[in-house]
Amino acid sequence: MSRSASRLVGAAALLLLVLGVFTAGVFAMREPFALNDYTAIWGLKARALHRSGSLASLFRVDPAGAFSHPEYPPLWPLLLTVATRARLPYDDLVATPLWPLLALAASLLAVRAALRWNVAPPFALLAGAALSLLPYWRTYPGYAEGLLLVFVLAAAGEAGRAGVGAGATLRLSIFLTLAAWTKPEGLVAALAAAVVLALARRFRAALLVAASALLFAALPWALVVRRLAPQPLPTAFALSAFSFEKAVAALAALAAEAAPAAGLALAAAGLLALAPQTLRRRRMVLAWAALYSAVLLGSFAFSRFDSAWHVRWSWDRILVVPLAVLIPALAEALAESATGRNEEPLPEATPPAPAPAR
C-alpha cells in the first residue's frame, strides 16, 4: 500500500474514532444515567454505597435478591461512587463522563492490541475506530460491560505473549482478575482464557490466570456475599432448570434478535475468510471468542426464567465482549488483504538449546 493511501486510511480511522467517542459522550452526558439495569442494579448500588459507605448496603436494598443481583461483584458501583465522591448528594449526571472515558480507553486498548499483533498503525487505528462505533456505547450507558470491555481488551493485548514473557502473563492475570471483579462474565472470560492457554500448551499461564481470577476475585467476593447476604440468594441459572425446549426457544429468540445484525456479521466473517494467515495466527483469539460465546449463550438453556425473554434482554450485551476482542483481528485481516503482506511476528527470545551431551 502506498504511503499516501496509508495516510488516508489513518486519517479516516482517526476521524471515525473521534466521532465514536464524541457521540458516545454526547449520548451518555446529555442526561443522567437512568436506564433499566442502571436503575435496578448499578446505580442503585452506587447510591447505596455512596450514602452508607458500607458493602452491607448492597444487600440491604434488596435482601431477597429480587432484582438488583446483590451477588454481582462490586467494582463498577464502587467506581461510580468514587467518580461522584466530590458531589454530594450522589448525582447520576456527574458519573456520566466516565462513559466516554471508558469508550476512549477501550478504543485505545483495541489499537494497542492490534499494534502488539503487528498490525500496521493505520489499520490498528481502524480497530480503535470500530470499537468506539459499536452501538453498545450508545445503547446501554451506565451498564457494567463498558468497564468489562476495558479489562478484556487490556488482556487481549497481553494474550500473544502470555506464557512466554512473565510480565505479560502477570498483566493478563491482573486484567482478567479485575474483569472478574466487574461482572460474572469477567470470571467466564478469565476461565475461557485459561482453557485456551492450556490448549496452546501454555500451562503455567493458564494456571496463573485461572488461579488469580478464582482466588483473588471469585473466592473473596463469594465469602463477602456469604457473610453479608441475610438469606440464600436466588440464581438466574440452575442445572436442574435445563430443558431441550428452553434451548430451542433461546436459539430461536437469538436468531430473531440477531437477524438485523446479520449483514455486519457476514461482513466480518468475509474479512476473516479473505485472510487465511490472520485466521491461522489468531486461532487462540478466535477459540477464546467462540468458547466465551458458547458458554454464555449455552447458559440460556439453564435459565430459571423464560429463556427467550432472557435472550432478548441480554444477548447483545453478552456478544459485545467477544466481538470487541475480535475487532483487532478483523483489522489484521483487513491489513493482510489490503497490503498483501503477512507480517509474521518477530520470533520470541528463547534461550539457546543446550548442547547435546557427549
Partner 1 sequence: MTPALKRTAAALLAAAVLLVLAWRAWEAVAPLNVSLSVMGKFWRASTPARLLNSRLFRREPNFGVALLGRDRSLPFGADVVLTVPLALPDAAAEEMRRKAAFVLAPRRVTLARGDTGREGFALAADPPGGAP
Q: Give how far the C-alpha of residue 33 lies from the chain's centroid of Cα atoms, to the nearest Å.
A: 21
- Exposed e or buried b per residue across 257-287, where buried means at least 16 C-beta atoms within 10 angstroms of its C-beta: eeeeeeeeeeebeebbeebeebbebbebbbe
φ/ψ of 66, rounded to 5, equals -75, -30
Rule CB under 8 A: say whether 52 interacts with partner 1. Answer: yes
For 113, other C-beta atoms within 10 Å of its C-beta total: 30
| Least gap, CB of 329 to partner 1 (angstroms) | 13
295, three cell numbers = 458458554
DSSP labels for 168-194?
HHHHHHHHHHHHHHH-HHHHHHHHHHH
Place of cell 456479521: 265
Choose among 140, 72, 75, 55: nearest CA to 103.
140
By beta-carbon proximity to partner 1, the closer residue of 91 and 343 is: 91
Q: Does 120 bind partner 1 (CB under 8 A)?
A: no
**Cα–Cα distance, 119 to 335 (Å, whole number):** 7
| Cα separation, 272 vs 333, whole angstroms | 6
Q: Based on CB atoms, which residue is closest to partner 1, 226 or 341?
A: 341
Angle of CA points 74, 111, 117, to nearest 5°: 105
Distance CA 95, CA 118 (A): 36
Contact code string over 137-176 relative to partner 1, x by CB under 8 A: -x--------------------------------------
Distance between CA atoms of residues 327 and 321, nearest Å: 10
C-beta of 45 vs 202, nearer to partner 1: 45
Which one of 340, 351, 352, 354 is in contact with partner 1 (CB under 8 A)?
Answer: 340
Question: Do 143 and 96 form a contact (C-beta atoms < 8 A)?
Answer: no
Question: What number of chain residues touch partner 1 (CB under 8 A)?
Answer: 56
Q: Is 6 in the site for partner 1 (CB under 8 A)?
A: no
Binding segment toward partner 1, per CB under 8 A, in 45-53, 208-216, 217-225, 343-351 = 45-53
280 binding partner 1? (CB under 8 A): no
Q: Does 260 bind partner 1 (CB under 8 A)?
A: no
Q: How far is the CB of 126 from partner 1 (least distance, A)?
A: 7
Smallest distance, partner 1 to C-beta of residue 104, A: 14
**Triad 231, 215, 142: Cα angle to 5°:** 65
CB 78 within 8 A of CB 72: no
Q: Does 104 bind partner 1 (CB under 8 A)?
A: no
Pick out residues in 56-95 that bind partner 1 (CB under 8 A): 57, 60-63, 67-68, 87, 89, 91-93
Exposure of 344 by Cβ count < 10 A (0-12 exposed, 13-18 middle, 19+ buried)?
exposed
Nearer to partner 1, 252 or 267 (CB): 267
Which of 7, 31, 203, 232 is the binder for partner 1 (CB under 8 A)? 31
| Cβ atoms 154, 328 nearer than 8 A | no
Q: Which CB atom, from 52 or from 235, has the smaller least distance to partner 1?
A: 52
Candidates 187-195, 199-207, 297-305, 335-343: pick the segment binding partner 1 (CB under 8 A). 335-343
Q: Which of residues 14, 29, 211, 247 is near partner 1 by CB under 8 A?
A: 29
Q: Residue 7, interface with partner 1 (CB under 8 A)?
A: no
Nearer to partner 1, 133 or 172 (CB): 133
* 267 touches partner 1 (CB under 8 A): yes
In the complex, which residues of this chain contact partner 1 (CB under 8 A)?
Answer: 16, 19-20, 23-24, 26-27, 29-32, 34-35, 39-40, 43-45, 47-48, 51-52, 54, 57, 60-63, 67-68, 87, 89, 91-93, 126, 129-130, 133-135, 138, 263-264, 267-268, 270-271, 274-275, 330, 333-334, 337-338, 340
